[in-house]
Amino acid sequence: MLNSFVIPLIASVSGSGGGSMGTGLKFDLELVDWVILAIYLVFVIGIGFALKRQSKTAEDFLLSGRSIPGWITGLAFISANLGAQELIGMAASGAEYGIMTSHFYWVGAIPAMVFLGIFMMPMYYGSKAKSVPEYLKMRYDERTRVFNSVSFAFMTIFSSGISMHALADLLTTLIGWNYYGWLVVTSVIVLAYVLKGGLSSAIYNEVLQFFMIVFGIAPLAYLALKNVGGWDGLVTKLQASPLGDGSIHSWAQTATGDNPMGVPWYGIIFGLGFVLSFGYWTTNFAEVQRALAANSMGAARRTPIVGAIPKMLFPAIVILPGMIAYALTMDGPGSGYSIPVKLDANGLAMLDSTGRAVMNYNQVLPSMILNYFPNGLLGLALTALMASFMSGMAANVTAFNTVWTYDLYSQMTGGKKTDQQLLNMGKVATIAGIILAMGCALIAAKYNNIMAILQLVFGFVNAPLFATFLLGMFTKRSNNAGAFWGLLIGTSTAVAFHGLSWVTGNAPGVKGAWISQVFEYPKDLSQSFMVAIVAFSVTFIINAGLSFASGRNKTDEELAGLVYSLTPQQRSGQEAWIMRPSVLGTIVMIAAIALNIIFW
C-alpha cells in the first residue's frame, strides 16, 4: 500500500481493466501445480477453523486478546504489507529505476519500523488503545478520531478492492477462466478464514503467507542471476543500457534529480523516507494492529524490529529480478527474455516520444516467472502470488472491522454495547467490508481513472497523520484544535497541491494538474514526494502554530502514557539483552546503513 500511489497498479497487470487477453502471459499448469495451490488453500482455511475457539468474544475476534508471540506478529507485520504492490510493483520498479528502488526499503521502511518499535510503541501499546483512531481520541479528542476513522475505513476498503481487482485480473491473465469467478473465489476464501478465526487467524495466516511468498519467489533471483552472468554480468549489461550507471548506484547519482528516479537526495530522505515511509509504517492501523496483538510490551516493541530483519533482504528477491529483466531486455533478443510491451487498442506496441516501445513493467514479475520456472516450481510461485494478495487483503479487512466496530459503531451508539453485540457487529463488518471491497474492485475494473485519482489521493493520507502523531507523541503542547485543523487543512492541501502539480510530458488529469498546471516535476516519483512533503509541512505548521497560540488543554496527568516524556520506560528483567528493542533496533539500523554504503 505504501507505494500504491507510486506505481499505478490500477492499470494492473493486463493493462486492460477486467478482461485481459492477448498478452501471451499464460501459465501452462499441470496437475502438480494445482495440487500445490489446493494444499495451500486447505491450510489457509484450516488455520481459520483451528483458531475458531479464539474468536468467542469481540476482544478475541478483533484484537486477538493481546496473546500472540513476538516473532509471529513481527512476520505478520511485514506480510500485511506484502500485497500486490510489493511483489509486482517492486519488481516493476527494479526494472524501471534499478537499484534506487532499494530506497523504499533501506531509507524508507527499515528506519520507520525501528522508530515505531523503539519510540512509538510504548505509547501505542501502553495506552491500551484498541486502534490508531482510539489513540488519537485519548491524546486529542473525538473529532480527530472520527476524521481518522472515516478516512481510514474508506481507504482500507478501497485498498482491498484494488488488491482484489489486481489479483482477479492477474489470475485471469495467467490461468484463464473468469475475472468475476476469481473475484468471488478469492474473496470467499479470505472471508472464510477471517470470519472463522478473526484477527488471530489473519495474523497466523500472514506468517504462513510470508514463508509461501519467500519460498515461491526466491528461486527466481537465483536462476535469473545465473542467466545474466552473475552480479558482474548484470552490472556490465546495465551500464551498457539506457539507464546506465544510475541503475547500479543507490546514492552516487543523487546530487541532482538527474537519475532514474528523477529525485535528488533530499527528496529521497525527506519525501520518501521521513514523510511517506514513516507516515505509512507508523500510523497505518493495518500495520500497527499486528503489534497491538502481541502478548507483551516487549513483544509489541520488537514486532516491527523483528519484521525489519527479513524486510531488509527483500530487495534481493523482488528488486533484483526486476533489474535483471531490464538488463536482459536491453541486451537484445539473444538474451532470451524481454519485458512485455504495452499494446494499444489494435494490438500494436505503444511507442513513446522517442519511438521506443513502452514497456509494461507490471508484467515483469509474472513474465520472469514464466520464463524460468518449470511446472512444480511454477505452482509454488503462483501460490506465492495468491498468498501475497490474500495477506494484504485480510490485513485491510481485519483493520477495517476493528475501526468500524470500536471507533465508529460503538461510539455512535454511545459506547453501551455488550461484548456479544460488538462481536456480532465485528462479524457483520467483516462480511460487509469484503462485499464493499468487491464493489470497489468492480469500479476499478470499469472506471480506471476515478480509482486512479482516489489511489493517488490516499497515498498522501498518511503524511498529515504522521505530522499529527509526531507532535502528539513527542510534545505535550500539541492540542486538540491544532490536531484537528492541522489534519484537515494538511490533507486538503495535499489534494489541492496534487491538482496543481504535474509531471513533464503528462497530460493534465489523473496524474495531477487537474486544477491547473503550476508546479512541474521531472518524474512521477518526484511529484509524489513533493506532495507528501507539502502535506506534512502544512499539517505540522498548523498544528504547532495553533497549539502555541491557544495553549495546552490536557494536563500532565491526562497525558501520562500518551506522550513520550510522560511515559515511564519499563524494562522487563527477563529478556536477554540482545532482545531489548533498543539493542535489536540499533543492530538493524547498522545493517541498513551498511547496505546503503555497499550499494552506494
Partner 1 sequence: MDLRLPIGIIFTLYGLILIGYGLITKGSKIYEKSLGINVNISWGILLLVFGLVMYYFAKRAKKS
- Which are the contacts of 255, defined by CB distance < 8 A and separation ≥ 6? 264, 265
CB of 574 to partner 1, least distance (A): 18
Q: Cβ of residue 333: shortest distance to partner 1, in angstroms?
A: 17
Q: How far is the CB of 294 from partner 1 (least distance, A)?
A: 14
CB closer to partner 1 out of 24 and 181: 24
Distance CA 173, CA 196 (A): 31
Residue 579: is it exposed, middle or buried by C-beta count within 10 angstroms (0-12/13-18/19+)?
middle
Q: Based on CB atoms, which residue is closest to partner 1, 19 or 376?
A: 376
Between 194 and 546, CB nearer to partner 1: 194
- Nearest C-alpha neighbor of 113 from the set 283, 351, 320: 283
| CA neighbor of 382 nearest in space, from 161, 174, 101, 585 | 174
Using CA atoms of 230, 13, 77, 188 in order, give the dihedral in degrees to the nearest 10: -140
| Residues binding partner 1 (CB under 8 A) | 32, 35-36, 39-40, 43, 46-47, 50-51, 72, 204, 207-208, 211, 215, 219, 223, 226-227, 371-377, 380
**Rounded least distance, CB 232 to partner 1, Å:** 17
Minimum CB distance to partner 1, residue 426 (Å): 21
User: Reduced to 3 states, what is the DSSP secondary structure of residue 341?
Assistant: strand
Contacts of 434 (CB under 8 A, 6+ apart): 160, 187, 190, 191, 397
Nearer to partner 1, 50 or 544 (CB): 50
Give the nearest distance from C-beta 376 to partner 1 in angstroms. Answer: 4
Nearer to partner 1, 46 or 508 (CB): 46
Element holding 153 (H helix, E strand): helix 142-174
Rank residues 24 and 46 by Cβ distance to partner 1 and give the closer one: 46
Cα–Cα distance for residue pair 237/241, rounded to 1 Å:
6
Nearer to partner 1, 375 or 424 (CB): 375
Contacts (Cβ under 8 Å, ≥6 apart) of 562: 123, 127, 135, 138, 139, 472, 473
Burial 531-557 (b: 16+ CB within 10 A, else e): bbbbbbbbbbebbbebbeeeebebeee
As a whole number of Å, the CA-based R_g of the chain is: 23
Residue of 8, 14, 16 lying closest to 85 (CA atoms): 8
Closest CB 32 distance from partner 1, rounded Å:
5
Residue 100 CB, shortest distance to partner 1, in Å, is 28
Q: How far is the CB of 189 from partner 1 (least distance, A)?
A: 16
What crossing angle do the helices spanning 297-330 and 581-598 adopt, rounded to 10°? 10
Nearer to partner 1, 42 or 450 (CB): 42
Query: Residue 14 Cβ, how far from partner 1 at the closest point, in Å?
Result: 23
Kindly tell me which of 50 and 587 has the beta carbon lying closer to partner 1: 50
Query: Looking at beta carbons only, is 223 or 495 nearer to partner 1?
Result: 223
Least distance between partner 1 and beta carbon 184 (Å) = 25
* Single-letter code of the amino acid located at 16: S
- The residues, any chain, with a CB within 8 Å of residue 115's CB and separated by 6 or more, are 278, 282
Closest CA to 391 of 277, 320, 286, 307: 286
- DSSP run (H or E) holding 520: strand 519-521
| Separation of alpha carbons 468 and 120, rounded Å | 13
Q: For residues 74 and 294, give the distance between their C-alpha atoms in angstroms, rounded to a whole number.
A: 9
- Nearest residue (CB) to partner 1, 26 versus 226: 226
Q: How far is the CB of 383 from partner 1 (least distance, A)?
A: 9
Between residues 218 and 330, which has the closer beta carbon with respect to partner 1? 218
Name the residue nearer to partner 1 (CB basis): 211 or 600: 211
Residues 406, 445: Cα–Cα separation, whole Å? 32
Cell for 540?
505540522
Residue 182 φ/ψ, nearest 5 degrees: -65, -40
Among 486, 472, 477, 481, which Cα is nearest to 561's?
A: 472
Q: Which is nearer to partner 1, 222 or 519 (CB)?
A: 222
207 SS3 class: helix
The C-alpha atoms of residue 504 and residue 29 are separated, in whole angstroms, by 43
CB of 307 to partner 1, least distance (A): 16
Minimum CB distance to partner 1, residue 207 (Å): 6
Q: Distance (Å, rounded) from C-alpha 142 to C-alpha 214?
A: 42
